[in-house]
């Protein structure tokens, strides 16, 4: 017996979600068609509502329901410190650490000529405008550690350099709670390069 | 920064789905709010459409969009053979094997007095009505192999016994492609009990 077509269609739509394979998608679809109608429409409504309400902060590019977003609007955030990240979700990762109290700027990608991503496709002009308008003293570049992340970091450091602005990049080295035997060569050589004096 | 409330609500709704933990739910929610609007409403529509269109076949209890379902309506299915399963999705499992060409009957559960499931909560009266109305010669009971599955199987065999009706239960034994060392004691003792002569 083939699955009823509406279940097959739902399975196909669900399997496009990140981390959901065909089997999980089928399992979720079969669960949904047997769930209480109320709970099912609540889920559908939550999906649509989130997509409609959430947009990108016009200042920093974070996911937000209000603009400017909570972080941009907060007087308790250090306006002199801006952390530059690739994607809106990276803000959550940095913020979960709880040690960073500055503001953010989302680039929207990394320079990657092979994928057709040029500097003008990123929110760099918006960052330059913020450097003019806001009392920013330090930009912390927190991009990934792949080739594109490296290239974009150096590009930004060169393009945004101006008197009175410190441009830094987050450290590369051993992750917490691991041993040398688990680190690859590049990580180890970067950890050596980035060594700091014990005091 | 807390997540925007509509994302938090969506994450909560998603994490109620089977196999979706809080982290996957957050990941899917963040993916959805950044996806194209069209794809997102398509998913929401597919969820609602499947729930609205799919119901249980009034005869056998399968998930279907038409009633009677495709299997009950099919003249190519052997009407003398009915496989009794616990849940609608079990039909898919049996049918995927491709060796069973009879019809099905979904009980809707297993007898479990501790959980408040009594025989009258199951679709046993419906099965008795089918035994009267249809030319059924064999009932194959294909319930799970736990205590409730055993109890329900014996209950059904006793209650449904009548002249001219064969009641069987699917075999318990070693699963395909495994060795004796992976089988638990109960499986092994059932496999020994159910031994068959090689001919």
Q: What is the number of other CB atoms lying within 10 angstroms of the CB of residue A68?
A: 15
Residue range A5-49, CATH number: 1.10.8.420
Tell me the sheet residues that pair with B81: B138
CATH code 3.40.1360.10 region(s) in chain A:
78-171+182-193
User: How many angstroms separate the CA atoms of B10 and A48, rounded?
Assistant: 9
Superfamily designation of domain B5-51: RecR Domain 1 (1.10.8.420)
**Sequence-ordered strand ranges (E) for chain A:** 55-56, 63-64, 78-85, 102-106, 138-141, 166-169
Closest by Cβ to B46, choosing from A9, A34, A91:
A9
Closest chain B CA to residue A103: B1
CATH code 1.10.8.420 region(s) in chain A:
5-49
Nearest Cα to Cα of residue B173 among B199, B196, B149, B141: B196
User: How many angstroms separate the CA atoms of A150 and A57, rounded?
Assistant: 26
Q: Is A49 within 8 Å of B10 when comparing Cβ atoms? A: yes
The answer to pTM > 0.90 is: no
Written as tens digits, the pLDDT of chain B (199 aa) is: 668 899 999 999 999 999 999 999 999 999 999 999 999 999 999 999 999 999 999 999 999 999 899 999 999 999 999 999 999 888 988 888 788 899 999 999 999 999 999 999 999 999 999 999 999 999 999 988 888 988 999 999 999 998 889 999 888 887 877 777 877 888 888 778 787 777 6
Written as tens digits, the pLDDT of chain A (199 aa) is: 668 899 999 999 999 999 999 999 999 999 999 999 999 999 999 999 999 999 999 999 999 999 899 999 999 999 999 999 999 988 988 888 788 899 999 999 999 999 999 999 999 999 999 999 999 999 999 988 888 988 999 999 999 998 889 999 888 887 877 777 777 888 888 778 787 777 6
Closest by Cβ to A33, choosing from B18, B43, B63:
B63
Q: Is A49 within 8 Å of B3 when comparing Cβ atoms? A: no
pLDDT in tens, A156-182: 999 999 888 999 988 888 787 777 777
Q: Is A51 within 8 Å of B41 when comparing Cβ atoms? A: yes
CATH code 1.10.8.420 region(s) in chain B:
5-51
Q: What's the CATH architecture for A78-171+182-193? A: 3-Layer(aba) Sandwich (3.40)
ipTM exceeding 0.90, yes/no: no
| Contacts B50 to A, Cβ<8 Å | 4, 6-7, 9-10, 29, 32-33
B22: distance to nearest CA of chain A, Å?
A: 13
Class of domain B78-193 as given by CATH: alpha beta
Q: Give first-to-last CA distance, chain A, whole Å.
A: 72
């Amino acid at each position: 017996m083939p699955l009823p077509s509406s279940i097959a269609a739902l399975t196909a739509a669900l399997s496009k979600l990140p981390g959901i394979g065909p089997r999980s998608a089928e399992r979720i679809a079969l669960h949904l068609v047997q769930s209480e109608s109320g709970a099912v429409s609540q889920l559908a409504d939550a999906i649509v509502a989130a997509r409609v309400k959430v947009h990108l902060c016009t200042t920093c590019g974070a996911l937000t329901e209000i603009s400017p977003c909570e972080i941009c609007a907060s007087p308790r955030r250090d306006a002199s410190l801006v952390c530059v990240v690739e994607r809106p979700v990276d803000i959550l990762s940095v913020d979960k650490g709880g040690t960073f109290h500055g503001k953010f700027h989302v680039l929207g990608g990394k320079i990657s000529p092979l994928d057709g991503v040029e500097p003008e496709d990123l929110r760099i002009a918006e960052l330059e405008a913020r450097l003019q308008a806001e009392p920013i003293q330090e930009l912390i570049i927190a991009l990934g550690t792949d080739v594109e992340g490296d290239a974009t970091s150096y590009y930004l450091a060169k393009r945004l350099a101006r008197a009175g602005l410190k441009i830094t990049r987050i450290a590369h080295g051993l992750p917490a709670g691991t041993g040398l035997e688990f680190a690859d060569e590049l990580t180890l050589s970067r950890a050596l390069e980035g060594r700091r004096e014990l005091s």
